[in-house]
Structure 1
């Protein structure tokens, strides 16, 4: 009831500063090992993200603990109980990421990307690759309710397929995976973000899902056309233009006319 703003801001500040500092530090170590001169861009390119996130997260956790206990508004027993509930709420997402990382290792060892790229090269036009990855990632994220898990599974596969099929499509393919995963996660009724959105707005969960679907599908359809254009033209500007034209056309098509009374 007598909370302090600093108790909210300070842990977040420590998280950001700690993570970025460790990213620069681990990146600098990698540059030194390779005998390269230090630069900020080079450090970020060669950083160890996992270690940086762990150190930043632990620093923020320790800071939050000290802030909570120093205020003397909650007891140590209450804090430990809340800490256990936090672990429980995040366990599902951590488990999904753990299995995604495991699958990534298996996919890499089996050279799945090379195999799939050989199938794509021999059966369909390479230009369809971005839009196919977009749709597949959206379906996967919708089914699993997690965009991060889809990132972990699909990004290595998409990168390997693009490099072996047509390196010029590497960035469009990675973009398609991330956009499709976020789209599917946004629409999924089992996604944590969807559940939290309906809970925070105090509305029926299924009502929230069904009312946001038309807007998401409008953007997804327009984006799919844009990725199709990018795949065949390899022009980002033409892809943006096609997306905008299709979106305007769909808005005009489905726009409800006011009813006369």
Structure 2
């Protein structure tokens, strides 16, 4: 079972069960048990080996991993800050201000998209920050939590993967072999990251045309019929708009400083790195924890002396923030454990073998890579893991630095990984988008899936065109592919609208 299709069965079963039963916790756990059973069968380790692998090598090991612990701490601190802003009245005050300046439902959605695009540093940070800031506004204009979760998710990973200064750029650069500038290669691949750009375009088209389809349309109708979506926040302070804006700006600045600090920006002598290099080598997990804790302390220092919120009430927000993040923490823990089961079954080896078999059809390879990367990221819930598997293969298949297919294929790998991650129920980014919007996770996944698959179909055709036209040169291929993709996206969205009528 190791290194074969069976290595992908545990996540596939977990995802299928989650979508069918609408219950994610038991679905993930069943996937973990299947993975543990497969591993124990191959290792002939019996029941003892099965339980050891599931709990000791799986759950406990994942929860003791320093990166994972950092992300969980960051979640708790973010939850605490959101609770602080809500209790202080900052969120409510911002909602009232926005209601005067944002005049429509479309305006609330456009504002959410723009804020998501601006916060391009890290997808985790994006999901939780945009959710906490825009939720009061979208609630007032009857945007469903499911639609908000989609807008958050679609401006997280898709924006980070086309931003040269982001934790994702650093991750991709790290998977490039020695002797080559990974960040430069990432920048060359940006223009061909069709899925990311088309996803952003899709959001603006949906909002502009007032179009929703699939199960999203049902949730939007329910939200529209309600008087106003409840924000589930109790105001006990006398905060103003500043009491929401200041913590958010502090969070952005201090998390950025925290990340470049871990990358060596403030080091002295030969260890010092410039801003871009520091970002490329940063430890996002540690940097986000340092920045969020600093922002939390600074927020308390602003709230308490001004008596915006009593000190005792501020301290009460700590367990409240923790409780708000418990669902996300539980799903993340189970998703990480499921990924560990998949890794132990050598899913990477199986996928690498598939890629070698189709490597001879080089002209069609970008489109194939896009689909394989999407399937792998969807099954494992990780874009970064997909980068680690497929980018070295792309470089090996296309060793010539100036080969247009090399750039297009690496772009296809990144785009496919983001597409799969974008709609996977076990993806940490998808989980955090649900948490940021305070939306039922399975509802978020089921409503988002038709939108993702629409853009995936358009992107697949565009990669076919890019592969077929690469003989004309990288510039000509890019222009032809972009024109074809944009026309296809616009026509397909208008066709959706006509069919709905």
Structure 1 residue 239, shift from structure 2 partner: 2.5
Structure 1 residue 181, shift from structure 2 partner: 2.6
Q: Any stretches of 5+ residues in structure 2 without a counterpart?
A: 1-234, 400-405
* Whole-angstrom distance in 1 between the partners of 2:324 and 2:258: 25
1:157-182 per-position Cα deviation (integer Å, ceiling 9, x unaligned): 12122122225122332133223432
| Contact in 2 for aligned 1:138/1:185 (Cα 8 Å) | no
Residue in 1 aligned with 2:481? 239
TM-score (norm 1): 0.67
* Whole-angstrom distance in 1 between the partners of 2:274 and 2:436: 40
- Structure with the bigger RCO (C-alpha within 8 Å, sep 6+) is 2
Structure 1 residue 222, shift from structure 2 partner: 1.0
1:191-237 per-position Cα deviation (integer Å, ceiling 9, x unaligned): 5446876959xxxx59x956x66554433211111122234426333
C-alpha distance 199-170 of structure 1, shift in aligned 2 (>3 A) = closer
Residue in 1 aligned with 2:390? 158
* Whole-angstrom distance in 2 between the partners of 1:231 and 1:76: 57
1:72 corresponds to which of 280, 285, 310 = 310
How many residues get paired?
A: 241
The structure whose residues are more often helix, as a share, is 1
Residue in 2 aligned with 1:90? 328
SS in 1 for 2:324: helix
| Contact in 2 for aligned 1:19/1:52 (Cα 8 Å) | yes
In the TM superposition, 1:22-33 aligns within 5 A as: 22-28=258-264
* Whole-angstrom distance in 2 between the partners of 1:92 and 1:239: 42
2:257 corresponds to which of 14, 18, 21 = 21
SS in 2 for 1:28: coil
Residue in 2 aligned with 1:170? 410
SS in 1 for 2:239: coil
Structure 1 residue 119, shift from structure 2 partner: 4.2
C-alpha distance 16-219 of structure 1, shift in aligned 2 (>3 A) = same
| Contact in 1 for aligned 2:352/2:389 (Cα 8 Å) | no
C-alpha distance 32-237 of structure 1, shift in aligned 2 (>3 A) = farther
C-alpha distance 37-62 of structure 1, shift in aligned 2 (>3 A) = closer
C-alpha distance 103-134 of structure 1, shift in aligned 2 (>3 A) = farther
1:134-158 per-position Cα deviation (integer Å, ceiling 9, x unaligned): 33455566678xxxx4213322112
* Whole-angstrom distance in 1 between the partners of 2:266 and 2:338: 26
